[in-house]
Chains A and B, each alone.
Chain A
């Protein structure tokens, strides 16, 4: 029934370029390079440990569980944030077509030494989101005689987000973190959402406010975070969900929520987004400058500026869908 397993093992002499920096000793970070035999099955972490054990004991990096659950060992390999302990080296060498790999620390965070960065900024942003359950006494009993009851469906609302190991790969990859220091980063908003839709929680409004204060609508939805998350928690999806519950709860006055409403209503009414009018829908009176500019550009090319866009033929069908969905959502609300 079982077959003897005889794995095929390859070896490749590779060059590992690793960013080094020791404060007090080095003025700026620089690249060191280490030659070593990379075997099939070897992870980036194994390679780093091999170098530390046999070539340079001062090579500094974080590692703990080496089984992809503690989140310590995130580094950037050839520009991608990954968990060193669960990233196979051989496929990378082959995919990029050269026997060399570049390993750098997580981005957007201060470097403490070599590949070790200070993750306190992430923790601080996380803490601002109230990332903990605040008991809803309608659901959670006062005494410890019973657990609170929760349906499997209620669990499914947020359970996948509890896979997050705070590795900060998403933070490092995030396009908005790159340009905005005030932005909370994907994992923190995802955590805010996780608790906000936990049926046992009572602090949703505060978290929505906290998320908005830290840039809930600054996420550009580039979806890099989904790509790099080693636990498949899909932070960008959680960010959209967080926006949705914010709007559901009545946040209608921010540019972001206005945009969401505009897109949604426009497609129902005319089948497409009324882009020419979008600036004023989103930014009220401040939006006119942009509209006038765009109209001037059109006039320059002899095009007639218009603030109306044509209704697409599919609009009627779309409107029917909207009506039907409204019905369904109403029923769901009544059931709950």
Chain B
């Protein structure tokens, strides 16, 4: 396990793996994330030469390639001596799966290391992998988080949404139960909001099926949104940036396809955390959302 010995500044430091989710309008999240985590004494250090994790899609061409490039990504964090943090649920899922596979198959582990050795890289397989949910709920801790809240979001009715890839399959993380996770709700409670249960909370938003099958993705996203809307919530908050892209970006199309005409603002978890910690809506660039965030936060 890596230690954060080299920094002695009372902050939590992470090797930051961004994945490829922050492209286009979402590129703003690079800065926003660092600002939000600043509020809770977390510093992100970009892994210098990471590449896209492949989202599991590369496995449809070559499993060995997927294993090797992700071992390389992890080796980057191992070299920095820091735990590996990614805000993207799919990256977490894919990379965690790679770590697990290589940990269970000694031959594969050796084969991957042979491949990496050509570039002088060694993969040890011992870095801690984490995601926004557990970085906030466990590493930073709920009490520290609560200390940093300057703008409690009391009274706001929120539908919490994990998405699938931090939960399935159950063996990719040891932080909490996959059937009955609570980290997102725990964080939201600290922010002051009222959490409303709704029947589509455990359903998939369909992000990964956008290309090739837009229609199905819209159906899935529309269904999730309708379930939340039924409960009269003000906002939906998701811990996954890809779910966010669908629930926000695809919302207009999805609801139109379903013959629905409501609007449900959707926030990406770090946005809400930042707002609760005193950042403004313009800091947060909320006007970049496809669905207007017309709630005072």
Contact = CB atoms under 8 A, between A and B. Distances in A.
Is A–B contact present in the complex under a CB 8 A cutoff?
yes
B51 interface: yes
Interface residues of A, number: 65
Interface string B194-229: 000000001110111101110011011001000000
A247 B63 CA distance: 13
B174 interface: no
A80 B167 CA distance: 13
Contact of B212 (A254, A294, A320): A254
Contacts of A322: 65
B259 interface: no
A287 to B, nearest CB: 8
A303 interface: yes
Nearest to A319: B51
Contacts of A324: 68, 115, 118
A77 to B, nearest CB: 10
Interface in B124-175: 164-165, 167-170
A275 B20 contact: yes
Interface string A165-208: 00000000001101110000000000000000000000000000
Interface stretch (B4-12, B34-42, B176-184, B271-279): B176-184
B50 A312 contact: yes
A111 B63 CA distance: 40
Contact of A176 (B51, B169, B209): B209
Interface in A28-50: none
Contacts of A217: 212-213
Given A223-B164, A260-B60, A278 B65 contact: no
A261 B179 CA distance: 34
B282 to A, nearest CB: 13
A218 B219 CA distance: 12
Residue from B52, B115, B288 with most neighbouring chain A CB atoms (10 Å):
B52
Contacts of A65: none
A240 B203 contact: no
B246 to A, nearest CB: 11
A96 B180 CA distance: 8
B59 to A, nearest CB: 5
B104 interface: no
Contact of A179 (B73, B76, B216, B290): B216
B51 A260 contact: no
Nearest to B50: A314
Contact of A226 (B55, B169, B206): B169
A282 interface: yes
18 contacts: A95-B177, A180-B219, A217-B212, A220-B206, A222-B208, A226-B169, A244-B59, A255-B211, A264-B61, A264-B62, A271-B51, A283-B211, A297-B290, A301-B288, A317-B119, A321-B72, A324-B115, A325-B65
The 8 closest A-B pairs by CB, nearest first: A255-B212, A314-B49, A175-B204, A223-B168, A226-B169, A222-B164, A260-B60, A222-B204
